[in-house]
């Protein structure tokens, strides 16, 4: 009887399993529902490819990227395994070959993108192919609020139920929350046999650096590794283009990759990277999830990743063959501001945004780590390793100082200002900067005002950054990014714990910051307004500026209207948009839904007649039962009051014509007085 170990050697050419592989292969082969969390480069694909050869029928492999499927099919076919893929990139000949292999009963692995699962013809095809196992690669894509969410992954559970076959899910990184989502969405809440393997990639050298002429830093890093394949991740599409050009001008074979490129161009880059030695791809995160190239020797981040999970995934593209590989991550204040705004502008619920800020804080903690980076990273994933001796901080331990007093000052400033402000305002208080906002809130009278004058503003920014990295302070999405003290900070504030921070990341000269659209304190509100705009735009399938332009949202963030009248005075908010969106954007600004306003009154918002209407309502209320309060109740409709408010001048005859004799007798004199004073 052929065993997995036999095929491992005869088909794939490996003498032995990697740690943990044998148990997973056995569970999948036996038809157990399985969830395996294994490090990138840990041999996940073999854990479903081997069982596919040992089991009867076809194994359906759901994979997120065409490039990855193509690479794996090509590799399997090269070792004599009958594998095929059905993707939008197939030629007619390739499609015909797959169907012929199915009909002949020869196909063992069928790769398919999740988008194809919802097609009406898919289930009949899978039954025809005699699918007996489903393998899901990159299973974390099923997590709705994860950084790689793919909505079509939600179809996988339905397909599993329809076929009645076991499922094996694989991912390189999944925290407890994401694992729960995988179990709920793929396994209907029935906990599968779960394998959680170590996250350590000992062949990767980890390094971070504060941005200091970042383009030169990337060029220098690449120059020291000339001729080696590498990936440079950037936060924006434009930056991939400019940095790829700079690398090419420096003599490196380099090309850009991002979602805005023509599909043919993207496929060309993918194919070049797969087959060409020494190519550097400068990319957004659109590139990488499906990278199966084993000899990527380095990964650099020109900008800070979105989270510690994203960082782990992205550096995992390097050194998949187990040979030494290098990583470098650059970061600066603009990166942190960008990542915070991306979280705040997203459509996730507030508790998810809070968790995402926590994940970003964890990455900042890794960036500002004082000891072994690998230990910090792996502790985040639940391991407790000794120092690795092979990261930048093990190579050169950083300079540190006792920052307890400074941290207590910062915490006190946050508490004394009601935990309602961001870093900029707190630094103003600490440094004794009496801005209009500080004076308006009488924060210049606080005991903490000016207590940190001896520390420069740049130094305070670095202290706050490190405090967030230590999770002593955390932005509160429900309060527009205001910093809240965490439980971990209380012993420090009480003087029960000391805090040591790094000096080298404080004293380093920072690049000039980009001009911000609004002040730091208004930025969280602007982000929240953009999130609401994005929701409306997506629902209507129109560009965001059709709802409101950035300029309009900036004015809202700065002026903070509290009523529909005030909202109507914001540039770009016309009557139609006020009617359609006004209340929703007021809710974002005020933190609560505004009182319901009659449509007739809403049409007068922002106009002088709106104020007249409100005074007419008050006058009517006083006279609804007559001057002595004993008459039969009488009132005017909202529409009628609006018409009175729009009269513009005190005209007794026109007013009587509008009201009629009975109402004119009751309200005429009072209404005329209001109109005269308007």
pLDDT digits (tens, 9 = 90+) for 630-648: 788 888 888 888 888 888 7
pLDDT of residue 515: 41
Contact between 606 and 574 under an 8 Å Cβ cutoff? The reply is: no
Measured distance CA(321)–CA(293) in Å, rounded: 9
Residue 1's pLDDT band (cuts 50, 70, 90): low
The confidence score (pLDDT) of residue 147 equals 56
CB 219 within 8 A of CB 244: no
Query: What is the rounded CA–CA span in Å between residue 303 and residue 286?
Result: 15
| The predicted structure's pLDDT at residue 101 | 92
Domain containing residue 15: CATH number: 3.40.50.300
Number of structural domains, the chain? 5
Query: Rounded to an integer, what distance in angstroms lies between the CA atom of residue 279 and that of residue 215?
Result: 18
Contact 303, 330 (CB under 8 A): yes
Domain membership of residue 671 (yes or no) is yes
246 pLDDT higher than 90: yes
Question: Which residue, 456, 481, 507, sits at the end of a domain?
Answer: 507
Q: 365, 394, 423 — which closes off a domain?
A: 394
The two three-digit tokens of residue 238, written as one number:
């434009």
Q: Are residues 94 and 139 in the same domain?
A: yes
**Residue 308 exposure: Cα atoms within 13 Å on the Cβ side:** 26
Please check whether residues 440 and 564 belong to one and the same domain: no
Same domain, 245 and 384: yes
Q: Give the residue, 588 or 665, on which the prediction is more confident.
A: 588
Question: Across residues 231-239, what is the average pLDDT?
Answer: 94
* Residue 615 and residue 474 share a domain: no
Whether 82 is in a domain gets the answer yes
Query: Is residue 602 in some structural domain?
Result: no
Bridge partners of 168, per DSSP, are 34, 135
For residues 299 and 204, give the distance between their C-alpha atoms in angstroms, rounded to a whole number.
Answer: 10
For residues 461 and 463, give the distance between their C-alpha atoms in angstroms, rounded to a whole number. Answer: 5
Q: What are phi and psi of 122, to 5 degrees?
A: -70, -50
Kindly tell me if the per-residue pLDDT of 366 is higher than 90. Answer: yes
Cβ atoms of residues 455 and 443 within 8 Å: no
**The total number of residues written for the chain in this structure:** 678
Asked whether the predicted pLDDT for residue 513 surpasses 60, the reply is no
In this predicted model, which residue has the larger pLDDT, 366 or 647? 366
| pLDDT tens by residue, 135-175 | 998 888 888 666 567 788 889 999 999 999 999 999 877 67
Six token digits for residue 659: 């009201």
Residue ranges making up the domain that contains 73 = 4-196
Report the range of poorest mean pLDDT among 75-89, 220-234, 243-257, 593-607. Answer: 593-607
Do 450 and 543 lie in a common domain?
no
- Whether residue 518 lies inside any domain: the answer is no
Q: Is residue 603 part of a domain?
A: no
Examine residue 267 and state whether it is found in any structural domain, yes or no. yes
Same domain as 302, residue 160? no
* Contact predicate 70/112, CB 8 Å: no
Tell me: do 188 and 56 sit in the same domain. Answer: yes
Confidence of residue 344 (pLDDT cuts 50, 70, 90): confident
Do 442 and 490 lie in one domain? The reply is yes
On whether both 219 and 96 belong to a single domain, the answer is no
Sort strands 204-205 and 325-331 into parallel, antiparallel or unpaired. Answer: parallel
Single residue among 394, 416, 447 that ends a domain in this structure = 394
Q: How many CB atoms lie within 10 A of CB 507?
A: 12
Q: Model confidence at 425, in pLDDT bands (50, 70, 90)?
A: very high
388 & 492 share domain: no
240 versus 616: the higher-pLDDT residue is 240
Which of the residue ranges 27-31, 469-473, 557-561 has the most confident prediction, judged by mean pLDDT?
27-31
Dist CA 442 CA 567 (whole Å): 27
Question: Quick check: 501 pLDDT over 80?
Answer: yes
For position 70, what pLDDT does the model report? 79
Whether 289 shows a pLDDT value over 60: the answer reads: no
Nearest residue to 300 via CA among 198, 187, 223, 415: 223
Task: Place 478 in a pLDDT band, splitting at 50, 70 and 90.
Answer: confident
The 3-class SS string of 345-360 reads HCCCCHHHHHHHHHHH
Are residues 583 and 462 part of one domain? no
- One domain for residues 210 and 301: yes
Residue 179's pLDDT band (boundaries 50, 70, 90)? confident
Q: Given a cut of 80, is residue 382 above it in pLDDT?
A: yes
Lowest mean pLDDT among 1-5, 10-14, 54-58, 316-320: 10-14
> What's the CATH code of the domain at 577?
1.10.150.80
For residue 601, being part of any structural domain is answered with no
Burial class (CB in 10 A: 0-12, 13-18, 19+), 121: exposed
Q: What is the pLDDT of residue 518?
A: 78
For residue 162, being part of any structural domain is answered with yes
CATH number of the domain enclosing 444? 1.10.10.10
Q: What is the pLDDT confidence band of residue 291, given thresholds at 50, 70 and 90?
A: low
């Amino acid at each position: 009887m052929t065993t997995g170990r036999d095929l491992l050697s005869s088909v794939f050419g490996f003498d032995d399993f990697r740690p943990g592989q044998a148990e997973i292969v056995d569970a999948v082969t036996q038809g157990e529902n399985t969830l395996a969390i294994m490090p990138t480069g840990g041999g996940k694909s073999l854990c479903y490819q081997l069982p596919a050869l040992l089991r009867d029928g076809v194994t359906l492999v759901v994979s997120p990227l065409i490039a990855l499927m193509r690479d794996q099919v090509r590799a399997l076919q090269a070792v004599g395994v009958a594998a095929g893929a059905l993707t939008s990139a197939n030629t007619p000949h390739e499609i015909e070959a797959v169907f012929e292999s199915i009909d002949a009963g020869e196909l063992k692995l069928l790769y398919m993108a999740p988008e194809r699962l919802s097609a009406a013809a898919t289930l009949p095809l899978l039954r025809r192919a005699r699918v007996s196992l489903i393998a899901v690669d990159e299973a974390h894509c099923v997590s709705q609020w994860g950084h790689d969410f793919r909505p079509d992954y939600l179809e996988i559970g339905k397909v599993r139920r329809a076929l009645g076959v076991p499922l094996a899910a694989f991912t390189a990184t999944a925290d407890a929350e994401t694992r729960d989502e995988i179990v709920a969405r793929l396994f209907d809440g029935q906990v599968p046999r779960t394998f959680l393997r170590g996250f350590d990639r000992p062949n990767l050298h980890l390094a971070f650096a504060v941005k200091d002429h970042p383009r030169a830093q990337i060029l220098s890093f690449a120059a020291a590794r000339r001729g080696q394949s590498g990936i440079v991740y950037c936060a924006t599409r434009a930056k991939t283009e400019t940095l790829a050009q700079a690398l090419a001008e420096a003599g490196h074979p380099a090309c850009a990759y991002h979602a805005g490129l023509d599909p043919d161009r993207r496929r060309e880059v993918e194919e070049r990277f797969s087959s060409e030695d020494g190519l550097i791809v400068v990319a957004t995160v659109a590139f990488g999830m499906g990278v199966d190239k084993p000899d990527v020797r380095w990964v650099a981040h020109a900008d800070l990743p979105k989270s510690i999970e994203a960082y782990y995934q992205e550096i995992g593209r390097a050194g998949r063959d187990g040979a030494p590989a290098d990583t470098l991550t650059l970061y600066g204040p603009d990166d942190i501001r960008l990542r915070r705004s991306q979280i705040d502008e997203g459509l996730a619920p507030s508790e998810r945004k809070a968790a995402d800020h926590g994940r970003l804080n964890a990455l900042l903690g890794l960036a500002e780590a004082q000891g072994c980076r690998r230990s910090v990273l792996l502790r985040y994933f639940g391991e407790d390793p000794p120092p690795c001796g092979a990261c930048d901080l093990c190579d050169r331990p950083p300079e540190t100082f006792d920052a307890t007093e400074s941290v207590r000052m910062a915490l006190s400033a946050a508490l004394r200002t009601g935990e309602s402000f961001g870093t900029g305002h707190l630094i103003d208080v600490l440094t004794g900067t009496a801005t209009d906002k500080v004076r308006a809130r009488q924060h210049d009278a606080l005991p903490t005002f000016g207590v940190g004058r001896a520390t420069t503003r740049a130094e305070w920014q670095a202290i706050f950054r490190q405090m967030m990295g230590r999770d002593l302070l955390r932005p509160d999405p429900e309060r527009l990014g205001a910093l809240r003290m965490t439980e971990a900070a209380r012993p420090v504030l009480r003087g029960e714990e000391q805090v040591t921070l790094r000096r080298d990341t404080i004293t380093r000269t920072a690049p000039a910051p980009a001009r911000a659209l609004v002040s730091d304190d208004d930025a969280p509100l602007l982000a929240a307004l953009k999130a609401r705009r994005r929701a409306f735009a997506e629902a209507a399938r129109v560009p965001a500026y059709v709802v409101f332009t950035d300029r309009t949202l900036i004015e809202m963030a700065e002026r903070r209207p509290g009523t529909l009248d005030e909202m109507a005075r914001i540039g770009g908010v016309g009557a139609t948009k006020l009617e359609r969106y006004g209340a929703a954007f007021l809710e974002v600004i005020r933190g609560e839904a505004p009182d319901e306003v009659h449509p007739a009154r809403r049409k007068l918002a922002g106009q002088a007649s709106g104020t007249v209407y409100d005074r007419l309502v008050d006058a009517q209320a006083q006279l609804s039962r007559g001057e002595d309060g004993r008459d039969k109740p009488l009132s005017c409709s909202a529409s009628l009051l609006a018409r009175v408010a729009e009269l513009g001048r005190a005209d007794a005859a026109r007013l009587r014509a509008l009201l009629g004799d009975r109402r004119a007798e009751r309200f005429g004199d009072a209404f005329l007085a209001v109109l005269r004073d308007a």
